[in-house]
Amino acid sequence: MAYEVLARKWRPKTFDDVVGQDHVTRTLANAIAQDRIAHAYLFIGPRGIGKTTLSRIFAMALNCEKGPTMHPCGECDNCKGIAVGSDMDVVELDAASNNKVEDIHGVLDQVQFAPTHSRFKIFILDEVHMLSNAAFNALLKTLEEPPPYVKFIFATTEGDKVLPTIISRCQRFDLRRISTGDILRRLRFICNAEGIAITDDALLAIARGSNGGLRDALSALDQLIAFKGTDLTEEDVLAVFGLVSRGALEGLADAILKGDIPGILRAVDAFEGAGKDMRRLTAELLWHFRNLLVFQQAGVELARQDVTTEQLAVLEAQAKLAPPQRIVEITGLLSEMEGRLRSALSVRTLVEMTLIRCARAAKTVSLDEVLRRLTSLREQVIRRLAAAAPRGPAAAPAAPQCAAPSVRESSPTVPPSPLSAAEVEPEDDLAPLEDEGYAPCAEDLSSMPQSAPPRAVRVETLQDSGGQYVDEILNLAVRLFGGGPVDVHENV
Ligand SMILES: [Zn+2]
């Protein structure tokens, strides 16, 4: 028997076999069960996720000799004919190569004739967005009111190119990119059935390379079997598709999060030496940080959809290395690089410089973070002042002192004042400031005039993007510490 590629051999034959499109299969099955079948359907979604397959299963469900049924038998002549695309009553047309108005006239001619042996005459038009405007218009009238025995099923990768007048006459279904977890489970099922020994990391590498398309993943698996036989490891997949191993990718992310610039440069050097595709690397690194952000912001359950258990453990460890706003900044830098890679003359330099900027972003305190901490410090001082006020005028003005290098220590030689450093409790918000060398001076805290009204501060507008924050910070600092008018220049 002739060899059949995996994607065809394992093409789903029932709604239950379709991976990751439950929202569509459930609606279609219910429509059949309740006898509420519309006359036109439109499936929209990226390539390789099952639009054509779904169209054929739906056609089988409608025309099966035992139907219409949610569970087409797959055994009768109608089901078999539809599965291989040879049924007279189910007309499949590729609109990419048949996009002229004459082609649609051919379809309309066939609409006139009732089905020969089935319940319905079904027209499946793939890549329907490729039809010319004239072809679309020729179709409109029939689409509005087709004969009762006619059903249209349209599929397209680009829903926004289909005329609104067409969309409004169809039931529209948006198919989802299949999650990595779903692809992994399907690949594992097929490999077990085919007797292919393959590691989880190898399957993950295939799933990563397929960008949510199951057909691409199965084609990759076919290619690997031709390359290596039925015993496959992650190294085989990486060698064939130029991908970076999961471990190396996570190591690079780790180096970025820890600000380890030599580590980053060594990794880039190794990737280039091994001939890895930098665009692919960027896309994968971006995806890793996206998963990290999902883990931090939405928790384990949502992150689990796209990663394996081993990856989840790594995400958990890395999530502690940087707060979400810095991960957002890193993701922004990486996606900016992704856009610039196409036109870059020296790809390696661009990658190195961007990754170093990412490492800095992971370790540098941003201006809004400083602002947030200053605000919290100010509120803390105001609370102290309020608490100290009832003690009377004798306690109010304290002698200037600058004995303590940080708010956590106080000088034993100076009697404590109401606002002495010792009384400013170390709060969580202050701790990181000290760790990173931003400890506020105790002298400033203690010498602050208690009843000073907020002073107007003359601040020149700064031209750079961070200017507004600098102004805010200076205003806050002056209110907080009671300094004189501030003159800010652009080189501050
Ligand atoms: Zn059947």
pLDDT per residue over 18-72, tens digit each? 888 888 999 998 899 898 999 999 999 888 888 888 999 999 999 999 878 888 8
Residue that wins the pLDDT comparison between 227 and 265: 265
Per-residue model confidence (pLDDT) at position 391: 58
- Same domain? For 409 and 344 the reply is no
Number of independent structural domains in the chain: 4
Distance 120 CA to ligand 1 centre (A): 14
In-domain check, residue 393: no
For 40, other C-beta atoms within 10 Å of its C-beta total 21
- Same domain? For 132 and 11 the reply is yes
Per-residue model confidence (pLDDT) at position 443: 40
Query: Which 8-state DSSP code applies to residue 256?
Result: H
At 148-186, the pLDDT tens digits run: 999 999 999 988 888 888 888 899 999 988 888 888 999
Diameter of the chain by CA atoms?
105
- Same domain? For 12 and 153 the reply is yes
The residue segments making up the domain with residue 422 are 367-387+400-481
H and E: helices and strands count for the chain: 22, 7
Whether the predicted pLDDT of 395 surpasses 50: no
Residues 6 or more apart whose CB falls under 8 angstroms from that of 166 comprise: 42, 128, 136, 139, 140, 143, 154
User: What's the mean pLDDT in 281-287?
Assistant: 90
In-domain check, residue 263: no
Tell me the pLDDT of the chain averaged across its residues: 80
Per-residue model confidence (pLDDT) at position 46: 87
In-domain check, residue 264: no
Distance 74 CA to ligand 1 centre (A): 5
In-domain check, residue 269: no
Residue that wins the pLDDT comparison between 318 and 275: 318
Please tell me whether the overall predicted TM-score, pTM, comes out greater than 0.75 for this model: no
Structure tokens at 392: 């009377």
Distance 89 CA to ligand 1 centre (A): 14
Distance 117 CA to ligand 1 centre (A): 13
In-domain check, residue 340: yes
Distance 69 CA to ligand 1 centre (A): 9
| pLDDT-above-70 percentage for the chain | 79
Distance 118 CA to ligand 1 centre (A): 11
In-domain check, residue 332: yes
The CATH number given to whatever domain includes residue 221 is 1.10.8.60
- Same domain? For 381 and 449 the reply is yes
The DSSP result for 140-172, as a single string, is HHHHHS--TTEEEEEEES-GGGS-HHHHTTSEE
Whether the predicted pLDDT of 324 surpasses 60: yes
Residues in the 5 Å CB sphere of ion ligand 1 = 64, 72-73, 76, 79
Residue that wins the pLDDT comparison between 361 and 440: 361
- Same domain? For 226 and 354 the reply is no
- Same domain? For 353 and 404 the reply is no
What are residue 48's phi and psi, to 5 degrees? 75, 15
At 422-448, the pLDDT tens digits run: 444 444 444 444 444 334 444 444 444
Distance in angstroms between the alpha carbons of the first and the last residue of the chain:
78
Residue that wins the pLDDT comparison between 397 and 353: 353
Please identify which residue in the block is written with the tokens 């020296």.
346
For 242, other C-beta atoms within 10 Å of its C-beta total 13
Distance 160 CA to ligand 1 centre (A): 35
SS3 451: coil
